[in-house]
């Protein structure tokens, strides 16, 4: 085989051939500058029109955002091909409460709080009801121990409570449910009777031990 040949037996390209432009590259370079300017102006007008309509038409703006989210979702799916599955995030434990009980606990918690946010929420009973519905949805979906996804929460809130929410609204709801379940919050999971009994026995043993050393 000639040293100038490629492994498949074809002649190796010359330096001139290596730098030869493709048909697409040639077409781009040979385009009329005036035509390129017209295309740029059309694109600018389209962008201005889209921006103005987005500002004046909330439905149109939401459709654009939905399209952006869908494109981002597809891009993340493409990027995730071949990567290991992410670890499952555990759910925040919630007490066994009905929707009404969850709302009552939250309202009582807000009544005791002096924060500006609590004062604002006290004047919005529908918001409190929404949080209670999110509590029920979160607890229902987390029965297997995994943190509910935004999509699953949105679907259950729609089918069970008739709530149509955007992904960002569902994200905030999930964050609030988990925040209210933190220690000191209205939905903190109470210790079970067995755990309370065990803790009381441990306290008695510690007390007896200190008395014996006295």
The rounded Cα 115 to chain-centroid distance in angstroms is 27
Contact 129, 153 (CB under 8 A): no
What digits encode the pLDDT tens for the residues 25-84?
777 677 777 777 887 888 888 888 888 888 888 888 888 888 888 888 888 778 777 777
Helix 58-80 / helix 33-56 crossing angle, nearest 10 deg: 110
Residue ranges in the chain modelled with pLDDT below 50: 3, 191-214
Query: Residue 149's pLDDT is what?
Result: 92
Q: Could you tell me the end-to-end alpha-carbon distance of the chain, in angstroms, rounded to an integer? A: 99
Query: Residue 11's pLDDT is what?
Result: 55
Q: Which residue has the tokens 């921006």?
A: 51
Phi/psi of residue 13, nearest 5 degrees: -70, 145
Query: Residue 197's pLDDT is what?
Result: 45
Query: Residue 14's pLDDT is what?
Result: 53
Whether the pTM exceeds 0.75: the reply is no
Residue 163 token pair: 């709530």
DSSP 12-62: PPPHHHHTPPPHHHHHHHTS-HHHHHHHHHHHHHHHHHHHHHHHH-HHHHH
Q: Which residues are CB-neighbours of 136 under 8 A, at least 6 positions away?
A: 98, 99, 102, 160
What digits encode the pLDDT tens for the residues 60-73?
888 888 888 888 88
DSSP 128: H
Q: Which residue has the tokens 């510690």?
A: 206
Query: Residue 103's pLDDT is what?
Result: 96
Query: Residue 12's pLDDT is what?
Result: 55
DSSP 144-187: TSBPPPHHHHHHHHHHHH-----HHHHHHHHHHHHHHTSTTSTT
């Amino acid at each position: 085989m000639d040293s100038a040949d490629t492994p498949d037996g074809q002649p190796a390209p010359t330096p001139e051939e290596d730098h030869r432009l493709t048909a697409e590259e040639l077409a781009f370079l040979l385009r009329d500058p005036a035509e390129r300017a017209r295309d740029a102006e059309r694109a600018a007008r389209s962008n201005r029109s889209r921006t103005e309509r987005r500002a004046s038409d909330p439905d149109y703006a939401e459709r654009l955002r939905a399209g952006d989210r869908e494109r981002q979702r597809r891009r993340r799916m493409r990027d995730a091909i071949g990567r290991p599955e992410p670890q499952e995030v555990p759910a925040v434990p919630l007490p066994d409460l009905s929707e009404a009980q969850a709302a009552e606990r939250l309202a009582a918690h807000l009544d005791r709080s002096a924060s500006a946010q609590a004062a604002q929420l006290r004047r919005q009973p529908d918001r409190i009801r929404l949080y209670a519905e999110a509590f029920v949805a979160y607890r229902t979906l987390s029965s297997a121990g995994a943190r509910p996804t935004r999509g699953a929460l949105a679907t259950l809130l729609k089918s069970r409570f008739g709530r149509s929410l955007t992904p960002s609204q569902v994200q905030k709801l999930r964050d609030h449910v988990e925040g209210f379940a933190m220690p000191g919050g209205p939905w903190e999971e109470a210790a079970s009777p067995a755990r309370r009994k065990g803790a009381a026995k441990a306290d008695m043993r510690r007390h007896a031990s200190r008395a014996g050393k006295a």
